[in-house]
Structure 1
Amino acid sequence: MYALDAKQVGHFFGSKRVLWNVNLSIPQGQFVSVVGPSGCGKSTLLKAILGTHPAKEGEIYATNIKITRPSRNIGIVYQHYSLYDFMTSVNNVAFGLEQDQTSLPYRLLRPFSWKKLRKTHLEQSHQMLERVGLAVVADQYPNQLSGGQRQRVALAQAMIMKPKLLLLDEPFGALDEATREDLQDLMLSLHKENQIAQEKGEHPPYTVLIVTHELNEAIYLSDRIIGLSQYHAQGEKGATIVYDEPATAWDANSARDFTLFKEQKDAIRSIVFNEK
């Protein structure tokens, strides 16, 4: 089963076409990076997949369910942290669980059950913060955290909902190099969890779609690279997929792997970015 299956997706704003005939299927457990020139429609594609701006042409399915509006099965982490300033880290992480699993009437009519469930949510949130290396800042507010810590909280906030598909929109773009590398290592640990699950014959827990402008990052973190670029032919225009290849697996100490890595970067620059 595909975690994502997008068929002939198109989108436009007024008379301006942004996406044209985008076809993209992602199996469960795959890490996919989307690269492309600035303004080519990468974020528009994510919004269509998320359901906040449904595609005006074609269809998008997540685990066989057609996407017409936001769903708890799809999580997202943005470049700019979507945290509530008036909540501590642990409460930010727990917020989604509370909104998803309980309603206001439930809280009012069953206060004792609500308190018990609230305790469970906080315990799960503490565990998730520990999972992303932030147990020590559970009771701190966003303005007390570094940029990298805030992004880890945002990632924990998305992961705790156990989405079938996790979208990352330039998640590390505003971070310094050292912090960026720490978060890349965290993503690789999720990749490792997928491998362990598959070795046990279980469904891999994480399917991730990353939008990034960093080609090194795309190849390093992903199983597969998707290139989105403008298309002009036969009276049609808009961004579409012009590159779809497995990411080069590489070891920095291997001269052969480094050569393959460089060859893939050069191919992406030529095909997707039209760099000669």
Structure 2
Amino acid sequence: MTETSETIEYTIECTDVLQCYPDKKGGLFTVLNDIDIRVQSGTFLSLVGPSGSGKSTFSRLILGSEPPFRGQVLINGQPVQPPDRNRGMVFQSYSLFPHLTVVENVMYGQELEEINFLSKWVRPFTYYKKKRYFKEKAMEYLDRVQLSPHADKYPFELSGGMRQRVAIAQAMIMKPDILLMDEPFGALDPDTRESLQVFLLEMHEKTKMTVLFITHDLEEALYLCSRLIVLSPFYVVDSGTTQGSKIVIDIAYPGRHPKSLDDKYTPYFNERLKMIREKGFNPDVRQHIGDFNLEHSDSWRTLSSDNGESNQTQAE
């Protein structure tokens, strides 16, 4: 590690992370293999990879909902803990309370954190004052996701895309240190999806929170990111045997962030897309472990990772 890197504070650090699960034969099935990554605070990190490459597994490790089989995961310099309010999550499905209105869903997290159950009777003036403040903030976020006219409706009265926008507002209003998003725009029509991409970048610019964004849409991933990594099982090592996915691409998107929508139509943007598809998604194009495109300034590999598959846990 260089002297410069020692002075940088990283929100996320993974060292030699290996994630395995039991298989039907009584052995172990490797999903992620020797993952090394450091992410500075405020990074918008897009994570892509072929289906089954371990993207959601990686997000669960960062969320703290499961421990690594081997290796270390640090959040703000400390070993990862179970999920808390500093790591927000927006899933593919909608995490809304059906018995609460839209605005009540958005303000629920703040109420849960700051309003004591008994305060409604013990300190009614303070209670209703806080309720009004939380509702005002919730309405601001609903306005940004174009749902303020639906504030008093219930989730079942909304379309799938509208419910997902509520879920995004619900997570972002808590202003977590890390916001993990797993295919949050997958259910949206193209116009709404693009408008929410712009919205998300605007909110990231204001909050400077660290975002881990998982998507199958490569154009979306590249447009949103300030940094992009590709997890892929398509690579080769000297031993000839590969298990699980590695980070095969780790790149920065140079220039300003957030980007203009016009960036999607530039030659540079499309050259990057072509490179990602070819080297990360094409099973016929398998890079040697020593040739991975790890050009990002924060990319790193431990010595054990440089030894190919020699130190990994093999399935029995």
Shorter-chain TM-score bucket reads 0.7 to 0.9
1:153 aligns with 2:166: yes
Q: Flag the 1:98–1:264 CA change in 2: closer, same or farther, 3 A.
A: same
The alignment partner of 2:243 has SS state of strand
Alignment of 1:243-258 (within 5 A): 243-247=249-253, 258=266
Q: Cα–Cα, structure 1 residues 38 and 124, in superposed 2: closer, same or farther, change >3 Å?
A: same
Corresponding residue number in structure 1 for 2:61? 48
One-letter amino acid matched to 1:125: A
Matched, 1:122 2:125: no
Name the counterpart of 1:199. none
Q: Which amino acid aligns with 2:58?
A: L
Q: Which residue of 2 aligns with 1:198?
A: none
Quick one: distance in 2 between partners of 1:9 and 1:106?
45
- Correspondence for 2:214: 211
Whether 1:239 and 2:242 are equivalent positions in the alignment is no
1:237 match: secondary structure: coil
Identity %: 41
Instruction: Classify 1:180/1:109 alpha carbon distance in 2 versus 1 (closer, same or farther; 3 Å).
Output: same
> Considering only CA atoms, is the larger Rg found in Structure 1 or Structure 2?
2
**CA distance in structure 2 between the partners assigned to 1:221 and 1:33 by the alignment:** 7
Encode CA deviations 1:137-179: one digit per residue, 9 max, x unaligned.
Answer: 2111112223332122111111111101111101111222122
- State the alpha-carbon separation in 1 of the partners of residues 68 and 155 from structure 2: 34
Cα distance change of structure 1 residues 102 and 12 upon mapping to structure 2, 3 Å threshold: farther
Pick which of 143-152 and 32-41 moved more: 143-152
1: CA distance, partners of 2:263 / 2:121: 62
Relative to structure 1, the CA distance from residue 88 to residue 57 in structure 2 (aligned partners, 3 Å threshold; closer, same or farther) is same
Write the letter of the residue equivalent to 1:124: K
Pairing 1:183–2:183 present? no
Deviation of the 1:67 alpha carbon: 1.2
Per-residue deviation at 1:122? Answer: 2.2
Which of 17, 21, 25 is the matching residue for 1:13? 21
Matched, 1:86 2:103: no
- Aligned-residue CA RMSD in angstroms? 2.5
* Partners of 2:53 and 2:98 in 1: CA distance: 32
- 1:272 maps to 280
Q: Is the 8 A contact 1:49 1:60 kept in 2?
A: yes
Greater shift in the superposed pair: 225-234 or 88-97: 225-234
Following superposition, the deviation at residue 88 of structure 1 comes to: 0.6
Aligned length: 265
CA distance in 1, matches of 2:263, 2:160: 33
CA contact (8 A) 2:62 2:73 kept: yes
Unaligned 5+ residue runs, structure 2?
A: 1-8, 23-27, 286-316
What's the TM-score once normalised by structure 1's chain length? 0.86
* Residue 94 (structure 1) shift: 1.3
Check conservation: 2:183, 2:216, Cα contact below 8 A: yes
Q: SS where residue 140 of structure 1 aligns?
A: coil
Deviation at 1:38, TM superposition (A): 0.3
Aligned to 2:72: 59
CA distance in 2, matches of 1:73, 1:17: 29
- Match for residue 261 of structure 1? 269
CA deviation map 1:5-30 (0-9, x unaligned): 22222211111111111112111221
Q: Tell me the TM-score normalized by structure 2.
A: 0.76
Code of the aligned partner of 2:107: A
Mean CA deviation greater in 22-31 or 141-150: 141-150
**Corresponding residue for residue 224 of structure 1:** 227
